[in-house]
Chains A and B, each alone.
Chain A
Amino acid sequence: MGAAYIIALLGLTAAAFYLGRARGAGLRTSGARAHSLPVYHGWYTGLAAAIPMLLVFTLWSPLAPRLIEHRVLSELPAALQPADDLARAAVLRDISNAAQGGALADQASPEVRQAAATFGNLTSASDWLRLAAGLGLGVFGLVWSLPQVSREFRARNHVERVVLLLLLASSAVAVLTTIGIVASLLFESLRFFAQYPWYKFLFGLQWSPQIAMREDQVGQSGAFGFIPILGGTMLITLIAMAVAAPVGLLSAIYMAEYATPRFRAIAKPLLEILAGVPTVVFGFFAALTVAPLVRAAGASIGLDVASESALAAGLVMGIMIIPFVSSLSDDVINAVPQFLRDGSYALGATKAETIKKVVLPAAFAGIVSAMMLAVSRAVGETMIVVMAAGLSGNLTFNPLDAVTTITVQIKTLLVGDQEFDSVKTLSAFALGLVLFFFTLSLNTIALKLVKKYREQYD
Chain B
Amino acid sequence: MTEPVARTLRMLPPKPTGFSGADVQQRLSQRRRADARFRAYGLAAIALAILSLFLILADVTGKALPAFTQSTLRLDVPVTSEHVDASAPKAGDYEATVRNALRGLFPEVQSRADRKALDSLLSTGAADALRHRVVADPALIGQIIASKALLSSDADLYVKGVSAKVSTAAGVGAAKPSATSGAVTLDLAPDALAGVLATDLAATTTAAAAPVTLDTTTPSLLLALNGGIVKITSLASGKAEGEILVPLTTADAAAAGAWRHILIATPETSRKINDRQIAFLELLADKSAIERHFNFAFFGRGDSREPELAGILGGLMGTAYTMLVTLGLCLPVGVAAAIYLEEFAPRNRLTDLIEVNINNLAAVPSIVFGLLGLAVFLNVFGLPRSSPLVGGLVLALLVMPTIIIASRAALKAVPPSIREAAVGIGATRQQAIFHHVLPVAMPGIMTGAIIGMAHALGETAPLLMIGMVAFIADVPGSPADAATVLPVQIFLWSDLPEAGFQSKTAAAILVLLAFLVVMNGLAIWLRKKFERRW
A: residues with CB less than 8 A from B are: 62, 156, 160, 163-164, 166-168, 170-175, 177-178, 180-181, 184-185, 187-188, 246-251, 253-255, 257-258, 267, 270-271, 273-274, 276-285, 287-289, 319, 322-323, 326, 338-339, 341-342, 345-346, 348, 350-353, 355-356, 373, 376-377, 379-383, 386-387, 407, 410-411, 414-416, 420, 428-429, 432, 435-436, 439-440, 443-444, 447
Contacts and interface: CB of A to CB of B under 8 A. Distances in A.
Contacts of B42: 250-251, 253-255, 257-258
Contacts of B506: 284
Contacts of B354: 171-172, 174-175
A249 B49 CA distance: 12
Contact of B35 (A171, A254, A319, A350): A350
Given A174-B358, A436-B368, 18 more contacts: A167-B339, A171-B337, A181-B372, A246-B45, A247-B49, A249-B45, A251-B42, A257-B42, A258-B39, A277-B513, A279-B460, A280-B487, A281-B56, A281-B512, A322-B49, A352-B39, A373-B363, A439-B364
A412 to B, nearest CB: 10
Contacts of A322: 49, 52
Nearest to A376: B363
Q: Lowest 4 A-B CB distances belong to which pairs?
A: A380-B365, A278-B458, A254-B42, A184-B375
Contact of B368 (A166, A283, A435): A435
A383 B375 contact: no
Contacts of B63: 288
Interface string B506-532: 100100110010001000000000000
Contact of B361 (A177, A279, A285): A177
B494 A439 contact: no
Interface in B42-69: 42-46, 48-50, 52-53, 56, 59-60, 63
Interface in B125-153: none
A276 B361 contact: no
Contact of B341 (A171, A382, A432): A171
Interface in B336-370: 336-337, 339-341, 344-345, 353-354, 357-361, 363-369
Contact of A407 (B48, B344, B461): B461
Given A380-B365, A444-B360, A247 B48 contact: yes
Interface string B375-394: 11001010000000000000
Interface residues of B, number: 89
23 contacts: A160-B430, A167-B339, A174-B400, A177-B400, A181-B364, A251-B45, A258-B43, A273-B53, A278-B512, A279-B458, A280-B488, A283-B491, A289-B59, A319-B56, A322-B52, A342-B2, A345-B10, A351-B10, A380-B368, A410-B465, A432-B367, A432-B368, A435-B367
A71 B149 CA distance: 56
Contacts of A289: 59
A351 B41 CA distance: 14
Contacts of B236: none
Contact of A167 (B340, B371, B400, B513): B340
B113 interface: no
A254 B368 contact: no
Contacts of A415: 464-465, 467, 469
B336 A171 contact: yes
Interface string B4-44: 01100110000000000000000000011011011101111
B186 interface: no
Contacts of B49: 247-248, 251, 270-271, 274, 319, 322-323, 326
Contact of B464 (A163, A251, A341, A411): A411
B368 A338 contact: no
B367 A429 contact: no
Contact of A171 (B31, B340, B458): B340
Contact of A164 (B3, B34, B60, B344): B344
A174 B458 contact: no
B214 interface: no
B302 interface: no
A167 B41 contact: no
Nearest to A383: B460
B46 A284 contact: no
Contacts of A257: 42
A350 B333 contact: no
B502 interface: yes
A278 B464 contact: no
A407 B400 contact: no
A167 B182 CA distance: 84
A63 to B, nearest CB: 12
Contacts of A258: 39, 42-43
Contacts of A278: 457-460, 487, 512, 516
A342 B6 contact: yes
B336 A353 contact: no
Contacts of A156: 428
Contacts of B487: 278, 280
A66 B341 CA distance: 38
A170 B340 contact: yes
A235 to B, nearest CB: 18
B401 interface: yes
Given A342-B6, A414-B374, A382 B364 contact: no
Contacts of B509: 280-281, 284
B79 interface: no
A326 B46 CA distance: 9
A15 B334 CA distance: 29
B371 A174 contact: no
Contacts of B359: 443, 447
A419 to B, nearest CB: 12
A97 to B, nearest CB: 14
A288 B10 contact: no
Given A181-B372, A270-B50, A411 B363 contact: no
B397 interface: yes
Given A276-B454, A280-B460, A254 B43 contact: yes
